[in-house]
Chain A
């Protein structure tokens, strides 16, 4: 990529041609993200895409609300290493206006168009600006499970005018596609991680499918020629594997992570 962080919005036929070339490269990168075999490869492609979109920095955050007590954030970072460290230490995910926007809107937008609703959100914007997000493009990645799983791609630049030029409509479309690909990639890795960590068997998944179909222990037991109490105790083991307080939550988690 030929993008330089200090460059302003490309002007003139040569610069415009280069910008379009970079955008074409981003378009080629998109399918590679889903096919990537490791998170290292995904981040490497992500970093290349960030540069191709004319941004200096980027991060992608996926938020999954597993149950009433548990929320998981997974993120990829291609930016100043100090920013993820500060994001974790300051617990910015609790006051992230960009994540809040992604939870209620699906349209990519400029960060400058968003209204901050609290002093903490204003502090977040100031902190982000110090780490290469003086201007930012926010691309939400909605999912089929609504608010239970939301992703947001944040592309940033030290140049306050970076996302104000004529290339914005093109970058917006590519950013949306990039956000969706990264969200999909994270969803796959989370699914694999859960399967590996919980050691769920096919019999466990069968039980969860029966529960998802609304069948009671009696009905499941009758079909399997087992006592209802046996089914109950099997469900207890499945709940423990998934860290769920009850079987309804276990089904919710299994569906959120694409196991059913």
Chain B
């Protein structure tokens, strides 16, 4: 009689691992974002431009007492709010490439606001909006909070 025991067959490591196709892949959060194809990039740019052009719609969402101003194509917006700390201004600049720069600052007096107005790049690009910005800013300083 043969007492030789057959070796116990255990599945190899690769056989027990769940198939990759079963579990969806997740982008690593701490690495650069996954690059997109040309077609998808074009689609995203189109959607971004469409969203920017309807930025006036966002005016409905702002709080009472706030003033939202936007240039003709919605790439630059200004949110003005009179606070007890001074005039709060949030300047948002969007670009088709997907960059968005939000600058938040507080002007304690009309002088500092005027100094900022004197160098604001919009003064050459959209004169009407620039005038309105100055008027709204000065008006906000007269509001007591």
- Residues in chain A within 8 A of chain B (CB atoms): 38-41, 43-44, 47, 65-78, 80-82, 84-89, 93, 144-148, 196-197, 211-212, 214-216, 243, 245, 248-249, 251-252, 255-256
Contacts and interface: CB of A to CB of B under 8 A. Distances in A.
20 contacts: A40-B86, A43-B106, A44-B86, A65-B33, A68-B32, A68-B36, A70-B48, A72-B102, A85-B121, A88-B121, A145-B30, A147-B30, A147-B32, A148-B29, A148-B31, A196-B61, A216-B23, A248-B27, A249-B27, A249-B34
A92 B44 CA distance: 25
A245 B91 contact: no
Contacts of A256: 29
A162 B128 CA distance: 43
Given A40-B88, A216-B24, A248-B34, A81 B29 contact: no
A245 B36 contact: yes
Contacts, number: 149
Given A43-B106, A88-B103, A70 B98 contact: yes
B33 A85 contact: no
Given A39-B88, A212-B26, A147 B103 contact: no
A259 to B, nearest CB: 12
A38 B81 CA distance: 11
Given A70-B98, A245-B36, A88 B91 contact: yes
Given A41-B85, A248-B34, A69 B61 contact: no
Contact of B25 (A44, A77, A80, A248): A248
Contacts of A148: 29-33
B30 A85 contact: no
Contacts of B103: 75, 77, 84, 87-88
A252 B24 contact: no
A17 B20 CA distance: 64
Contacts of B25: 214, 248
B119 A214 contact: no
Categorize the interface residue count of chain B. Answer: 35 or more
Contacts of B120: 85
Nearest to A256: B29
A55 B111 CA distance: 22
Given A68-B35, A71-B99, A77 B24 contact: no
Interface string B53-82: 000001001000000000000000000010
B26 A66 contact: no
B127 to A, nearest CB: 16
Pairs A-B, 9 closest by C-beta atoms = A146-B30, A81-B116, A70-B98, A89-B121, A69-B98, A40-B83, A214-B23, A77-B105, A40-B88
A3 to B, nearest CB: 17
* Chain B contact residues: helix, strand, loop or mixed: mixed
B84 to A, nearest CB: 8
B132 interface: no
Contacts of B141: none
Given A43-B85, A85-B121, A69 B45 contact: yes
Contacts of A87: 103
Contact of A81 (B33, B83, B112): B112
Contacts of A77: 103-105
Contacts of B119: 81-82, 85-86
A82 B116 contact: yes
B93 interface: yes
B135 interface: no
